[in-house]
């Protein structure tokens, strides 16, 4: 039965990035598993489609619908922890940061081998889009999934698991873009709790670092490289497993200085506002911000290290996965230096479309069909960000982002599903047989396109069935 108190009409939804708006005919916030079948049935009775909402942190139009929008964030319990198998089963609306903090306490003493930086996204949203952190020997968050309980379009419950369905099927359903049904619960593989020795270093020259990137990435467990345009140096994070005792318990250690300067009295907003108003100031602002990045060395539990950033200014973000075949980093070096070249070219015209960081993370490839990091070997997740506060017009930076996207596509890159994508029409062919395998299962599970919206129809090149 549909609990009407959990559903409302006339609701206007916005995503975190404020680039998307939707007016769903019905916005539901289920509070228990038993609420879900009633909501599904009601949507079908009204001939409406459904999109499931996690935390709303995606920039792509995965969630908008004029049908039913189901907000999963009240379904946020840890259901069970199997300490022998080191697996945790949770409701899909639980935030990933809350989960890893709970697991790493003395009750369970568990960690995840990899996590996203952002702690507020839901487990369902992270899994559905193949989200990732860093770690050259680690896959994505979706690769940690061993089972998933899903409410299908026909109203039946189905648990997909590696044990009963096999890895081939799991690879099809893990990264699902919310197009197979409502994920109620997810079982994730954990590892024993571990500490990381985390070093932040801003003393290295950017060009030298990228020239020797293979050495850097292959000599640490986890690496991230940041570059604020117009700076000689980059900022490098390296994390290595250690048995040494913890020196840091404060959850805000990561970006302390930056946060203090930029958040107090909205100084960051004003600073970026000046760069918007007087674009020629951008290089000075970038130098100032780069100078704020901490130099430090701490030992902390992995969940604290992974979620190092707790303050995000409004940004536009595009991320592509660039392959690293046989530890050959030449495509990554090209992808990076093309961005540097583009930034210089635009500066020559007095324009600064990218006024935030260029960032890379390095992971093991994923076996999931729709993962942008699918395949053998390794992948670099490279991303560019620009500040969008102060109502900065999209036209200010769109052409630049499209140019960089084309550069990265020419290098064989595939986009993060949740971040900016301009070449939506190319996605189906980018994934080839992997996309065909996914679409076959999607067609079997949801022939009437209950879980579709216009964006996904464009991605899958599907005619409307409703």
Ligand X SMILES: Cc1cc2nc3c(=O)[nH]c(=O)nc-3n(C[C@H](O)[C@H](O)[C@H](O)COP(=O)(O)OP(=O)(O)OC[C@H]3O[C@@H](n4cnc5c(N)ncnc54)[C@H](O)[C@@H]3O)c2cc1C
The residues near 17 (Cβ < 8 Å, ≥ 6 apart) are 57, 59, 314, 315, 316, 317, 388
Of the two residues 220 and 361, which places its CB atom closer to ligand X in the complex? 361
Binding segment for ligand X (CB under 6 A), chosen from 113-121, 282-290, 327-335, 399-407, is: 113-121
Q: Single out the residue of 395, 418, 221 nearest to residue 302, CA to CA.
A: 221
Binding segment for ligand X (CB under 6 A), chosen from 121-129, 386-394, 421-429, 437-445, is: 121-129
Of the two residues 122 and 231, which places its CB atom closer to ligand X in the complex? 122
Examine residue 54 and tell whether it contacts ligand X (CB under 6 A): yes
Of the two residues 117 and 368, which places its CB atom closer to ligand X in the complex? 117
Task: For residue 173, give Cα distances in angstroms to 115, 149, 155, 161, 428.
Answer: 20, 11, 18, 10, 17
Of the two residues 346 and 460, which places its CB atom closer to ligand X in the complex? 460
Examine residue 55 and tell whether it contacts ligand X (CB under 6 A): yes
DSSP secondary structure string, 203-270?
-SBHHHHHHTHHHHHHTSSEEEEEE-TT-SB-EEEEEEEE-SPP----TT-TTHHHHHHHHGGGHHHH
Q: How far apart are CA 427 and CA 447, in angstroms?
A: 21
Number of shown-chain residues binding ligand X (CB under 6 A)? 32
Structure tokens at 274: 């000046």
Q: What is the helix (H) or strand (E) element at residue 161, kind and residue range?
A: strand 157-161
Of the two residues 121 and 304, which places its CB atom closer to ligand X in the complex? 121
Indicate the SS3 state at residue 150.
strand
Examine residue 126 and tell whether it contacts ligand X (CB under 6 A): yes
Examine residue 129 and tell whether it contacts ligand X (CB under 6 A): yes
Q: Single out the residue of 279, 382, 297, 369 nearest to residue 336, CA to CA.
A: 382
Binding segment for ligand X (CB under 6 A), chosen from 111-119, 209-217, 330-338, 426-434, is: 111-119
Binding segment for ligand X (CB under 6 A), chosen from 52-60, 199-207, 270-278, 371-379, is: 52-60
Least distance to ligand X from the beta carbon of 280, Å?
28
Least distance to ligand X from the beta carbon of 245, Å?
28
Least distance to ligand X from the beta carbon of 431, Å?
16
Least distance to ligand X from the beta carbon of 130, Å?
7
The residue within the footprint of ligand X, chosen from 182, 190, 285, 370 (CB under 6 A), is 182
Q: Report whether 418 contacts 59 (CB < 8 A).
A: yes
Using CB under 6 A, which residues numbered 60 to 79 contact ligand X? 62-63, 72
Examine residue 124 and tell whether it contacts ligand X (CB under 6 A): yes
Q: Report whether 67 contacts 43 (CB < 8 A).
A: yes
The residue within the footprint of ligand X, chosen from 131, 196, 368, 404 (CB under 6 A), is 131
Using CB under 6 A, which residues numbered 410 to 449 contact ligand X? 418
Q: Which residue has the tokens 């952190």?
A: 133
Examine residue 283 and tell whether it contacts ligand X (CB under 6 A): no
List of E strands, 263-357: 296-301, 315-324
Q: Is the dihedral of CA 166, 377, 113, 357 positive or negative?
A: negative
Q: Report whether 147 contacts 174 (CB < 8 A).
A: no
Q: Using CB under 6 A, list all residues that contact ligand X.
A: 16-17, 51-58, 62-63, 72, 92, 116-118, 121-122, 124-126, 128-129, 131-132, 177-178, 182-183, 312, 418
């Amino acid at each position: 039965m549909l609990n009407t108190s959990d559903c409302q009409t006339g609701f206007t939804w916005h995503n975190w990035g404020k680039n998307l708006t939707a007016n769903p005919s019905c916005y539901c916030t289920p509070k228990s598993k038993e609420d879900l079948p009633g909501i599904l049935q009601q949507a079908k009775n009204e001939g409406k489609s459904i999109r499931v909402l996690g935390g709303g942190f995606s920039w792509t139009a995965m969630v908008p619908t004029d049908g039913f929008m189901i907000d999963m964030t009240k379904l946020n319990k840890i259901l069970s922890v199997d300490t022998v198998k080191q697996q945790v089963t949770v409701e899909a609306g639980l935030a990933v940061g809350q989960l890893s903090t709970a697991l790493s306490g003395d009750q369970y003493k568990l960690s995840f081998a990899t996590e996203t930086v952002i702690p507020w996204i839901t487990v369902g949203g992270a899994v559905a889009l193949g989200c990732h952190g860093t770690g050259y020997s680690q896959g994505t968050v979706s690769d940690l999934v061993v089972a998933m309980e899903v409410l299908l379009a026909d109203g039946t419950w189905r648990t997909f698991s590696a044990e009963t369905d096999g890895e081939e099927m799991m690879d099809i359903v893990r990264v699902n873009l919310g197009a197979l049904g409502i994920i109620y619960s997810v079982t994730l593989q954990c590892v024993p709790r571990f500490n990381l020795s985390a070093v932040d270093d801003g003393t290295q020259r950017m060009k030298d670092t990228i020239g020797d990137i293979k050495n850097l990435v292959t000599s640490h467990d986890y690496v991230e490289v940041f570059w604020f345009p117009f700076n000689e140096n980059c900022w490098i994070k390296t994390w290595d497993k250690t048995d040494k005792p913890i020196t840091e318990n404060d959850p805000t250690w990561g970006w302390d200085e930056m946060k203090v300067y930029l958040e107090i009295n909205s100084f960051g907003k004003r600073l970026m506002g000046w760069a918007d108003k007087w674009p020629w100031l951008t290089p000075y602002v970038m130098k100032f911000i780069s100078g704020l990045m901490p130099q430090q060395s701490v030992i902390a539990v992995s969940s604290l290290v992974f979620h190092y950033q707790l303050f995000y200014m409004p940004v536009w973000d595009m991320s592509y996965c660039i392959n690293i075949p046989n530890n050959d980093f030449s495509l990554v070096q090209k992808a990076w230096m093309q961005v540097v070249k583009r930034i210089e070219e635009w500066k020559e015209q007095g324009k600064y479309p990218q006024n935030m960081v260029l960032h890379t993370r390095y992971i093991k490839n994923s076996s999931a069909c729709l993962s942008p990091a699918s395949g053998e070997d390794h992948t670099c997740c490279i991303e560019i960000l620009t500040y969008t506060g102060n109502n900065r017009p999209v036209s200010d930076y769109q052409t630049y982002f499209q140019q960089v996207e084309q550069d990265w596509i020419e290098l064989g890159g595939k986009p993060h599903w949740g971040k900016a994508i301009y070449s939506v029409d190319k996605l189906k062919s980018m994934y080839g047989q992997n996309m065909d395998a996914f679409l076959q299962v999607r067609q079997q599970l949801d022939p009437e396109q209950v879980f579709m919206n216009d964006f996904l129809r464009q991605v899958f090149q599907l005619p409307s069935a409703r």
